[in-house]
Amino acid sequence: MTDFLLSAYPWIKSFHVMSVIAWMAGLFYLPRLFVYHVEGLNKAGVTPGGEMDLLFQRQERLLLKAIMNPAMIATWVAGLALVATPGIIDWTAVWPWTKAVSVIAMTAFHMVLGRNRKAFLAGQNAYTGRQWRMMNEIPTVLMVVIVLSVIVKF
């Protein structure tokens, strides 16, 4: 198995990077959709269960189910294959641990977004547009930590 992982390393790494890009795109965009959803519902003429509300719900569902969830799973599968590749990670260094904690936090944020999508469906969103804008920065901060961990290897 280790021979396979070593020979497939460039392919696995490429697949990992592509899936991370797709996942990050969704993590950046879904909270922004939530901002527009909240602010659209707060404007006159847009009602819960109305045409615009249903349009936002559909976009949010498709983004989460068709792009973000598969990309997250692919990221984890390829990432774990990279972790299992001999000689790739020095576990005595700090960087693999900061990356691991950040990826787990990113996954938790993904789950929070999924739970909040269901809250929108039920008409129970608890956050304002401003709060969603602030939460939209979480994946950016985690991405910075992950990239610096992997590239700079601090």
Q: So what's the pLDDT on residue 83?
A: 95
Q: Which amino acid is at 65?
A: K
**pTM of the full structure:** 0.92
User: Would you state the structure tokens that stand for residue 78, as one six-digit string?
Assistant: 């390829």
Q: So what's the pLDDT on residue 44?
A: 59
Q: Per-residue DSSP letters for 27-86?
A: HHHHHHHHHHHHHHHHSTT--TTSHHHHHHHHHHHHIIIIIIHHHHHHHHHHHHHHHHST
Q: So what's the pLDDT on residue 46?
A: 65
Question: From the DSSP assignment, how many helices (H) and strands (E) are in the chain?
Answer: 6, 0
pLDDT tens-digit map of 65-84: 999 999 999 999 999 999 99
Q: At a CB cut-off of 8 Å and minimum separation 6, what does 120 contact?
A: 34, 37, 56, 57, 60
Q: So what's the pLDDT on residue 42?
A: 72
Dist. CA 131–CA 42, nearest whole Å: 14
The answer to whether residues 152 and 65 touch, using CB atoms and an 8 Å cutoff, is no
pLDDT tens-digit map of 25-46: 999 999 999 999 998 877 756 6
Give the three-class secondary structure for 108.
Answer: helix
Task: DSSP letter for 92, please.
Answer: T
With a pLDDT cut of 90, the percent of the chain lying above it is 83
Domain extent listing, the chain: 2-152
User: Which parts of the chain sit beneath pLDDT 70?
Assistant: 44-46
